[in-house]
Amino acid sequence: MIDVKELIALGVPQDRAREWEGPLISVMAAHKINSTPRAAAFLAQLVHESNGFRTLEENLNYSATALHRLWPARFPKILAEEFGRVEGEDGHPANKAMIAAIAYGGRMGNGGVETLDGWRFRGRGPIQLTGRDNYTALSKALNVDLVNHPDRLLEPVIGAMAAGWFWSEGNRTGKSLNAFADIGEIDRISKAINGGVNGLEPRRSLYEQALRVLA
């Protein structure tokens, strides 16, 4: 089992480590994340996704340039400059709600831009659960109404349970990622969680660090 010292060794601040220790222990036991390779893989993903449990809500403070680069079809330059952050005397902050509404509208079970579902169901929790479909499925699995109360994912107990559910069945494979962890397939775990190769090197590094810490 993990403890506060091990979480701190993985870069989690002491106050967050104390807050998340108990919920993580319970969830890891429930989802059979019960070996060093499994625990290392699981914790590495969570620590990376949440910046050491510091960031439990998606950061949507995109600049206009970054918006256009990341989502050129959804944010042509005129929209990117309207809603993205623009520096300088005549600049303006990012309109985070509209960025999420446009970026995520009409997919992942979300309604169109006008519904603001993209903002309502933005990434939350240590695994950054995103989209109405995921919130609905998790609500059924946990018997907790996260569709009408999405901010409950910011609570350690619910957030940890969400991470366990995503690890076991809510990810892109639909199966437990323990099998990949057992054979050290960190890249496949990362892709199942993130959908691509974003942050692959830091995830690998955290995994190797976690193996040493938990040994």
pTM score, whole prediction: 0.92
User: Rounded to 5 degrees, what angle do the CA atoms 104, 148, 176 make?
Assistant: 65
| Percentage of the chain lying above the pLDDT 90 cut | 94
**For residue range 5-63, what is the model confidence (pLDDT) as tens digits?**
999 999 999 999 999 999 999 999 999 999 999 999 999 999 999 999 999 999 999 99
For residue 151, the model assigns a pLDDT of 97
Per DSSP, 57 falls in state B
Give 77-127 as a DSSP string. Answer: HHHHHHHSBB-STT-B---HHHHHHHHHTTSTT---GGGTHHHHT--BTTT
For residue 88, the model assigns a pLDDT of 87
Give the pLDDT mean for 140-155.
97
pLDDT band at 111; cut points 50, 70, 90: very high
Give the pLDDT mean for 153-157.
97
Whether the predicted pLDDT of 197 surpasses 90? no
Q: What residues contact residue 200 under an 8 Å CB cut-off, 6+ apart?
A: 187, 190
Whether the predicted pLDDT of 196 surpasses 80? no
Whether the predicted pLDDT of 90 surpasses 90? no
Give the pLDDT mean for 168-181.
95
Using an 8 Å Cβ cutoff, are 36 and 181 in contact? no
Using an 8 Å Cβ cutoff, are 86 and 92 in contact? yes
Distance CA 207, CA 203 (A): 6
pLDDT band at 194; cut points 50, 70, 90: confident
For residue 198, the model assigns a pLDDT of 74
Give the pLDDT mean for 78-87.
96
Mean pLDDT of the chain: 95
Token pair, residue 13, equals: 């601040």
For residue 15, the model assigns a pLDDT of 97
Distance CA 144, CA 150 (A): 10
**For residue range 202-212, what is the model confidence (pLDDT) as tens digits?**
999 999 999 99
Using an 8 Å Cβ cutoff, are 209 and 39 in contact? no
| Percentage of the chain lying above the pLDDT 70 cut | 99
Q: Maximum Cα–Cα distance for the chain, whole Å?
A: 55
Whether the predicted pLDDT of 168 surpasses 90? yes
For residue 164, the model assigns a pLDDT of 98
Token pair, residue 203, equals: 């995830």
Distance CA 156, CA 134 (A): 18
Using an 8 Å Cβ cutoff, are 13 and 37 in contact? no
Domains of the chain, with CATH numbers? 4-56+125-214 (1.10.530.10), 64-120 (no CATH)
